[in-house]
A and B are shown apart, each in its own frame.
Chain A
Amino acid sequence: MLTILLDGIAYGMLLFILAVGLCVTLGLMNFINLAHGTFAMAGGYLTITLMQQMGVPFLLCLPAAFIFAAVLGLVLERTLYRHLYDKTHLDQVLFSIGLVFISIAMVDYAYGANQQIVNLPDYLTGRLNFLGASIGVYRVFVILICGLLVISLQLVLTKTRFGSRLRAAVDDGRVARGLGIDVTRIFAVTFAVGSGLAGLGGALGTGIISFDPTFPLKYMIYFLIVISVGGTTTITGPFLAAILLGVADVAGKYYVPAVGGFIIYTIMVVVLIVRPQGLFARAAGK
Chain B
Amino acid sequence: MSMITSPSPEAVQARAVLLGRSNWGAAEIAFWILAVACYWIFPTKLSLLSEIAILGLVALSVDLVLGYAGIVTLGQGAFFGIGAYAAGLAAKHGMGTSLWSDPLIGLFIGGGVAAFIGFATSFLVLRGSDMTRLMVTLGVALIVDEVVNQMKWLTGGSDGLQGVLPSAVLGIWDFDLFGRVAYVYSLVVLFVLFVIARALVKSPFGLSLQAIKGNQLRTRAIGMPVNARLIAVYTVAAFYAGVAGALAAQTTQFASPDYVAFHRSADAMLMLVFGGAGHLYGGLLGSVIFRTMQDVLGNITPQYWQFWLGVTLVALVLFVRGGILGLLDNLLSAWRRKGGAS
Contact = CB atoms under 8 A, between A and B. Distances in A.
Interface in B299-316: 303-304, 306-307, 309-314, 316
B128 A272 contact: yes
Contacts of A265: 139, 142-143, 146
Given A32-B130, A91-B317, A102 B146 contact: no
B142 A276 contact: no
Contacts of A269: 124, 135-136, 139-140, 143
Given A102-B314, A269-B124, A97 B266 contact: yes
A95 B132 contact: no
A98 B66 contact: no
B270 A94 contact: yes
Interface string B251-287: 0000000000010001001100100000000000000
A262 B273 CA distance: 30
Contact of B306 (A88, A91, A101, A273): A101
Contacts, number: 117
Interface string A126-153: 0000000000000000000000000000
Contacts of B195: none
B135 A268 contact: yes
Contact of A84 (B131, B312, B313, B317): B317
A101 B310 contact: yes
Q: Is the interface of B mostly helix, strand, loop or mixed?
A: helix
A93 B132 contact: no
A37 to B, nearest CB: 13
Interface in B110-129: 124, 127-129
B209 interface: no
B127 A105 contact: no
Contact of B132 (A97, A217, A221, A228): A228
A26 B130 CA distance: 12
B139 A95 contact: no
A84 B128 CA distance: 22
Contact of A272 (B130, B136, B146, B269): B136
- Which interface class (under 10, 10 to 19, 20 to 34, 35 or more) fits A? 35 or more
Contacts of B135: 224, 228, 268-269, 272
Interface string A26-50: 1000001000000000000000000
Contacts of B138: 221, 224
Interface in A49-102: 80, 83-84, 87-91, 93-95, 97-102
7 contacts: A80-B314, A89-B129, A89-B130, A89-B134, A90-B273, A91-B317, A101-B306
Given A89-B134, A95-B314, 18 more contacts: A88-B130, A94-B269, A94-B316, A95-B317, A97-B266, A99-B314, A101-B307, A221-B138, A224-B138, A228-B131, A228-B132, A259-B150, A262-B146, A265-B139, A265-B142, A265-B146, A269-B135, A269-B143
Interface of B: 66, 72, 74, 124, 127-132, 134-136, 138-140, 142-143, 146-147, 150, 262, 266, 269-270, 273, 303-304, 306-307, 309-314, 316-318
- Minimum-distance CB pairs A-B, first 10: A98-B313, A101-B310, A105-B307, A102-B310, A89-B130, A98-B314, A269-B139, A95-B317, A105-B306, A98-B310
